[in-house]
Amino acid sequence: MKPCITVVGSVNMDLVFRTPRMPALGETLLGHEFRQIPGGKGANQAVAAARQGADVSFIGAVGADGFGEFSRNCLNAEGIKLTYLSTCQNVATGVAGILVDDNGNNSIVLAAGANASLSEAHIDAASTAISSAQFLICQLETPLVSVSRAIAIARAHGVKVILNPAPAQALPDSLLQQVDYLVVNETEASQLSDSMVTDLDSAKTATQKLLQRGVATVLLTMGEHGALISTPDECHFIPAITVDVVDTTAAGDTFVGAFAVGLANGLSLLEASVEAQYTAALTVTRLGAQTSIPHRQQVLEFIASRTGN
């Protein structure tokens, strides 16, 4: 049987500008190209999980507009269950303005749109999709009160919770104590631990502080510097997979989706993390959010090309 994963999260249309570098304040800069690509952290993570072979249900909201219809069609094409993807009247679908420079670095500005309309009532209406899953994945591009409600339902039914607290914001210990796997980057780890992450030693300090706040497992992704996996009993550093970077958009989301599928398939914490690292590395060799997320066979071939297995 396929792994069963439910994602609560955002849907955005990404307006992607390729640019030689990031513009200075007040500067007009001639870019290389412009593309409209479906995105949103929640939708990206759902697509990543689906392309790795999971049976995915998605809970979110779009506007009654062209972007919303296009996003819905894209998710439907992935085989993702959209019973609880609401269409909100008189509000626009979420939009992200993304600048990607020639080094593959990006800067993103969000307009939440319909994502901000995802309510506790929407979550309660979708409680069956949450309670019947093996894993619940959440991020913070939808209201925290709704994310908290979804996590509470999952915990009440023994469903494992993966939280990617992005964009970063203050979170209470009472919420973190309900999280089985907290996936953070350096910025999010620094804010939540009140301990600046600048290198491996400071990363270890930050993850220990997050464990002390009640999280069961912390996965700190550090891009080209690798990833750190910490529990109260073990700590593993996973080196980065060296690739030619085109665009880092959706790398973290791909890691989350692939990690969830790995665990649901019975891999160990370390095995699932390593496989997710390879999946994310392959993502950054391509442009865009959902357009860059690889399928399972592509990941297996990539791993084999690097390891010989």
Is 12 assigned a ligand-binding role in the annotation? Answer: yes
Question: Is 257 annotated for ligand binding?
Answer: no
What distance in Å separates the CA atoms of residue 203 and residue 185, rounded to the nearest whole number? 10
List strand residue ranges (DSSP E) for the chain, in order: 4-8, 12-18, 33-39, 55-63, 81-88, 94-100, 106-111, 135-138, 160-163, 181-184, 217-221, 227-230, 235-238
Question: Is 224 within any annotated ligand binding site?
Answer: yes
| Residue 26, token pair as written in the block | 């007040």
**105 among annotated binding-site residues:** no
Q: For residue 78, which phi and psi values (nearest 5 degrees)? A: -85, 0
Q: 196 a known binding residue?
A: no
The response to whether 222 counts as a known ligand-binding position is yes
Angle separating helix axes 186-193 and 200-212, nearest 10 degrees: 50
Q: Tell me whether residue 79 is annotated as binding.
A: no
- Any binding-site annotation on 128? no
Active-site position among 55, 101, 180, 253: 253
C-alpha 102/C-alpha 111 separation (Å) is 25
Phi, psi (5° rounding) for residue 38?
-65, 135
**Could you confirm whether 253 is annotated as catalytic?**
yes
Two structure tokens written together for 132: 């019947």
Residue 188 assigned as binding residue: no
Binding residues for K(+): 247, 249, 283, 286, 288, 292
Binding residues: 12-14, 40-44, 141, 185, 221-226, 247, 249, 252-253, 283, 286, 288, 292
Binding residues for ATP: 185, 221-226, 252-253
Binding residues for substrate: 12-14, 40-44, 141, 253
**Which residues are tagged catalytic?**
253
